[in-house]
């Protein structure tokens, strides 16, 4: 039943119903919350590329220390 409720919720970035927004370029990053990002994480479409790069740099610094 939960999926039916989600169908009628609206996205903040475009004020469209969830299903109506499926094809628009209106997504928010789960990490930073930014809307309408262009490039996503190579293995996780819910995370923007910028957050991926920050995470990668952080991991590289941990490995070097």
What pLDDT does residue 46 have? 82
- The model's pTM: 0.54
User: For the segment 4-54, what is each residue's pLDDT rounded down to a tens digit?
Assistant: 555 678 877 778 887 777 667 777 788 888 877 777 777 877 888 888 889
pLDDT of residue 2 exceeding 60: no
| Number of structural domains found in the chain | 1
**Are 36 and 48 within 8 A, CB to CB?**
no
Reported confidence tier of residue 1, pLDDT bands at 50, 70, 90: very low
What pLDDT does residue 64 have? 80
Compute the distance between CA of residue 42 and CA of residue 19 in angstroms, rounded to an integer: 24
Domain extent, residue 56, equals: 2-64
């Amino acid at each position: 039943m939960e999926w039916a409720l989600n169908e009628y919720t609206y996205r903040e970035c475009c004020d469209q119903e969830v299903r109506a927004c499926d094809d628009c370029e209106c997504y928010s990053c789960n990490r930073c919350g930014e809307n309408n990002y262009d490039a996503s994480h190579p293995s996780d479409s819910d995370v923007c590329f910028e957050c991926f790069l920050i995470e990668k740099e952080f991991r590289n610094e941990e490995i070097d220390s």
